[in-house]
Structure 1
Amino acid sequence: MTDASGLVERVRAALREVIDPEIGFNIVDIGLVYDVAIEEDGVARISMTTTTKGCPATNYLRDGAGEAAQSVAGVHWADVQLTYDPPWTPEMMSPAAKNYLGVA
């Protein structure tokens, strides 16, 4: 099998192509992706959240994450699970996202 850590990084890179339509920045750097794991059979397990439980973009983001992960060579299927534990906070954003959004 492909090096799992390399595959995780390629999946994370693909997830950076998924842009939150309300925030205008990618889901990895705004802190919505909590975990990416690759199983032996090429299944990508993604744990993610949304900024709020009632986020109108929830299905768009979940579907986008699954499609992005499945576009990576070596990933045969993506299982995207939503969680709100821990709840998302702006502190979860990367420095690049904070800079883009003007958050100190």
Structure 2
Amino acid sequence: MQDQIEGKPLIKPSSTDHPLYPQIVEACRTVFDPEIPVNIYDLGLVYTIEIGADSEVDVTMTLTAPGCPVAGEMPGWVAEAIEPLPGVKHVDVHMTFDPPWGMDMMSDEARLELGFM
């Protein structure tokens, strides 16, 4: 799914081997874009989940469109979903629009739910 330019991924890889990673993904799945009835993780809005040595979590995400009405609130919703998890020390959520979100970033489950499959 990740496009590459000269061998460098456009989206930084996540810390998938960290024991907190599955719980953080599930926490992200509790956050929904209010305009689309699918969670932000399955929509493909969460680009990277980085978990540091001290269990500090850095999330890089996007929105379906730069003018999304919840642009200012979404990072807080994501942080609030992740921070209560046992073992998480601190959460930072960063927005990016590079690369821009596209429907090809959605999971198969999201495509099915929205009738694209």
State the TM-score, normalized to the length of structure 2.
Answer: 0.82
Matched, 1:11 2:11: no
58, 77, 87: which is aligned to 2:100?
A: 87
Matches within 5 A, 1:1-104: 5-104=18-117
Mapped partners of 1:71, 1:18: distance in 2: 14
Post-superposition offset of 1:98? 0.5
Amino acid paired to 1:36? I
Structure having the higher helix fraction is 1
Please, which runs of 5 or more residues in structure 2 have no aligned partner? 1-16
Mapped partners of 1:10, 1:72: distance in 2: 8
CA RMSD of aligned residues (A): 1.1
Post-superposition offset of 1:59? 2.4
Amino acid paired to 2:52? E
Partner of residue 10, structure 2: none
The number of equivalent residue pairs is 101
Give % identity: 40
Structure number with the bigger relative contact order (C-alpha 8 A, sep ≥ 6) is 1
Post-superposition offset of 1:76? 1.4
Runs of 4+ displaced beyond 6 Å: none
Mapped partners of 1:91, 1:38: distance in 2: 26
Please, which runs of 5 or more residues in structure 1 have no aligned partner? none
Amino acid paired to 1:102? G
